[in-house]
C-alpha cells in the first residue's frame, strides 16, 4: 500500500483553499513535513487531518482571529446556557439570592444565642461574653466564605488569598 503524502499545492487543490491558507493551517497546528518532493515539503494524511480538524486551532482566546473568537464565545455561551438548563449551573444572581436566604436566618440566630442562653439558662456573664465572641467569629468566617464565592462568581476564577 502506498503512503499518502501531499504537497501544499495538492492539499489546496483538493481542499479548494488558497495555498497561503493551507500553509498557515499547517504551520499553526505544528504539522511536521513527512519529507520533501522536488525540494518542497510534503505532508502525510494524519498531519493534514490534524491541521484541518476542529480540534486543531487556538485554544487561547488572546491568539484567536476575530472569526475564531466569535465562534469560541458563542460556543461557550451555548455551553453555559445548557449547564443552566440542565440544572448543573446557577446564574450569579440566583447564587447570591440562595446565599442570602441561607445566611439571613443563621445570622439572626447567631446574634441571639448568647442572649437566649443568658435569659433562659441563667448563664454567667463571662460565659455569655465567650459565646458572643465565638458567634461573632463564626459570623465573620461565614461572611468571608460568602464574599469569596461571590468574587469567584464575578470573575470566574478562584480569589487569591
Q: Where are the domains of the chain?
A: 1-57, 59-89, 90-155
Mean pLDDT across 86-112: 87
Mean pLDDT across 36-51: 89
Pick 8 or 161 by higher pLDDT. 8
How many CB atoms are closer than 10 A to CB 108?
10
Q: What pLDDT does 56 receive?
A: 53
Q: How confident is the model at residue 72 (pLDDT cuts 50, 70, 90)?
A: confident
Q: Is the pLDDT of residue 82 over 70?
A: yes
On average, the pLDDT of the chain sits at 85
- How far, in Å, CA of 153 to CA of 106, rounded? 22
pLDDT, one tens digit per residue, over 109-138 is: 888 999 999 999 999 999 999 999 999 999
Q: Is the pLDDT of residue 155 over 80?
A: no
Mean pLDDT across 78-85: 90
Q: How confident is the model at residue 54 (pLDDT cuts 50, 70, 90)?
A: low
How many CB atoms are closer than 10 A to CB 71?
14
Claim: this prediction has a pTM higher than 0.75: no
Is domain 1-57 given the CATH code 1.10.1660 in the classification? yes
- 72 and 64 Cβ atoms separated by less than 8 Å: yes
- How far, in Å, CA of 92 to CA of 152, rounded? 10
Contacts of 107 (CB under 8 A, 6+ apart): 139, 142
- How far, in Å, CA of 42 to CA of 48, rounded? 10
Bridge-based pairing state of the strands 35-37 and 5-7: unpaired
The DSSP code sequence of 18-41 is -HHHHHHHHHHHTPPP-EEETTEE
Q: How confident is the model at residue 107 (pLDDT cuts 50, 70, 90)?
A: confident
Amino acid at each position: 500500500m502506498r503512503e499518502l503524502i501531499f504537497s501544499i499545492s495538492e492539499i489546496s487543490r483538493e481542499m479548494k483553499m488558497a495555498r497561503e491558507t493551507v500553509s498557515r493551517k499547517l504551520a499553526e497546528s505544528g504539522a511536521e513535513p513527512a519529507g520533501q518532493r522536488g525540494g518542497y515539503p510534503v505532508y502525510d494524511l494524519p498531519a493534514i487531518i490534524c491541521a484541518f480538524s476542529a480540534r486543531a486551532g487556538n485554544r487561547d482566546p488572546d491568539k484567536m482571529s476575530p472569526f475564531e473568537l466569535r465562534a469560541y464565545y458563542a460556543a461557550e455561551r451555548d455551553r453555559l446556557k445548557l449547564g443552566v438548563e440542565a440544572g448543573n449551573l446557577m446564574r450569579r444572581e440566583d447564587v447570591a439570592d440562595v446565599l442570602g436566604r441561607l445566611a439571613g436566618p443563621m445570622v439572626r440566630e447567631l446574634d441571639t444565642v448568647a442572649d437566649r442562653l443568658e435569659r433562659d439558662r441563667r448563664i454567667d456573664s463571662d460565659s455569655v461574653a465567650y459565646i458572643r465572641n465565638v458567634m461573632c467569629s463564626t459570623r465573620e468566617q461565614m461572611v468571608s466564605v460568602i464574599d469569596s464565592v461571590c468574587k469567584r462568581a464575578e470573575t470566574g476564577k478562584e480569589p487569591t488569598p
